[in-house]
């Protein structure tokens, strides 16, 4: 024991007949007051382990000040601090491993209910009141450490209870499960509807683009066939437009490339643009 002896020693000296005569400056009142003050200041500040049922503790004051704790079992050696997770506080050396394996964080669900996300993958059933999560986690960690027997897992997700045997609490549980499922279903439906709306918009837009581009292509074909027998190969811009919008066969494309001095990059680009437009301009096989 160190750091907490001065006032006490002084007090002891005062009541010692052989030493008291040397202490002219100290009144008994002063010595007593000092001793009380010292006792308060140096009071151990004990911290418990957050593992439920664990009774180990350590003296935070002694630890912070680097003193030997009054009781050797109050040493802070090997203790950890849990600052995240559902349960905050100190962890004794015996329980550091199991608590680290089961560090669990609260998670708010979209329907305003709460659950936990444990490092081991465990999640309790959602709760309306977040205050229930800590006891649930404590039960989980006691089970994980083998202090409590593992809960019997029913063969089915939930066991069927005969109608006549339902109680208020079994019904509440069922309604809660129903509420969770209902909310999930609502969310899935909303996501599906949003996807459908997005798909429908693109489908309509693409349909419109297709009609417009096909109209241009038809006009080009008409002018080539009988309107004015326009030669779409003569001019390099015409040839280029036809190449992208309607497409030349390979031989014609090779001849035009030579005639209009298109290099291989230009030809590659033309082929790429043609391939991009093909789904819009060329009749597609019908779905179904
Ligand atoms: Zn412990
Ligand atoms: Zn766990």
Domain map of the chain by residue range?
49-57+74-144, 205-288
Per-residue pLDDT band for 19 (boundaries 50, 70, 90) equals confident
- The ligand minimizing its distance to the Cα of 123 is 2
Residue-wise pLDDT for 128-150, tens only, equals 888 999 999 999 999 999 999 88
CA of 259 to the centre of ligand 2 (A): 75
Query: What is the model's pLDDT at position 95?
Result: 95
Residue-wise pLDDT for 115-127, tens only, equals 999 999 999 888 8
Helices (H), the chain: 6-14, 17-20, 28-41, 60-65, 96-101, 133-144, 168-222, 236-245, 250-259, 264-281
Q: What is the mean pLDDT of the chain?
A: 86
CA of 95 to the centre of ligand 1 (A): 5
Structure pTM? 0.48
- The ligand minimizing its distance to the Cα of 54 is 1
Query: What is the model's pLDDT at position 154?
Result: 53
* Intra-chain end-to-end CA distance of the chain, in Å: 88
CA of 113 to the centre of ligand 2 (A): 20
Whether the pLDDT of residue 155 is over 50: the answer is no
CA distance 233 to 216: 17
| Core vs surface per residue 20-34: b (16+ CB within 10 A) or e | eeeeeeeeeeebeeb
- The ligand minimizing its distance to the Cα of 144 is 2
CA of 86 to the centre of ligand 1 (A): 16
User: Which residues have beta carbons under 5 A from ligand 2 (an ion)?
Assistant: 102, 118, 120, 122
Give the contacts of 185 (CB within 8 A, at least 6 positions apart). none
Per-residue pLDDT band for 2 (boundaries 50, 70, 90) equals very low
- The ligand minimizing its distance to the Cα of 103 is 2
Residue-wise pLDDT for 36-89, tens only, equals 888 887 788 899 999 999 999 999 888 888 888 888 889 989 999 988 889 989
**Do 27 and 11 contact (CB within 8 A), yes or no?**
no
Query: What is the model's pLDDT at position 142?
Result: 95
CA of 101 to the centre of ligand 2 (A): 7
CA of 53 to the centre of ligand 2 (A): 17
């Amino acid at each position: 024991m160190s750091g907490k002896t001065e006032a006490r020693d002084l007090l002891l000296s005062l009541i010692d007949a052989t030493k008291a005569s040397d202490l002219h400056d100290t009144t008994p009142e002063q010595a007593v007051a000092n001793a009380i003050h010292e006792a308060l200041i140096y009071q151990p500040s004990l911290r418990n382990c957050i593992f439920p049922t664990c009774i180990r503790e350590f003296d935070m004051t002694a630890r912070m000040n680097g003193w030997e704790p009054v009781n050797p079992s109050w040493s802070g050696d090997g203790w950890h601090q849990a600052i995240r997770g559902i349960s905050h506080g100190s962890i004794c050396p015996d329980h550091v491993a199991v608590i680290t394996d089961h560090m669990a964080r609260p998670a708010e669900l979209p329907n305003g209910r709460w659950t936990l996300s444990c490092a081991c993958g465990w999640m309790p059933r959602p709760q309306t009141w977040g205050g229930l999560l800590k006891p649930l986690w404590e039960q989980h960690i006691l089970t994980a450490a083998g202090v409590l027997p593992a809960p019997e897992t029913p063969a089915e997700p939930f066991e069927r209870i005969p109608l006549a045997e339902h109680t208020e609490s079994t019904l509440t549980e069922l309604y809660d499960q129903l509420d969770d499922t209902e909310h999930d279903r609502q969310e899935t439906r909303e996501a599906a509807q949003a996807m459908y709306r997005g798909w429908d918009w693109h489908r309509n837009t693409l349909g419109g683009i297709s009609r417009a581009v096909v109209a241009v292509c038809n006009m080009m074909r008409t002018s080539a066939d009988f309107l004015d027998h326009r030669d779409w190969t003569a001019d390099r811009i015409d040839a280029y437009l036809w190449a992208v919008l309607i497409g030349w066969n390979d031989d014609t494309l090779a001849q035009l490339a030579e005639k209009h001095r298109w290099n291989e990059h230009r030809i590659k680009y033309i082929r790429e643009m043609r391939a991009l437009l093909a789904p819009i301009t060329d009749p597609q096989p019908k779905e179904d």
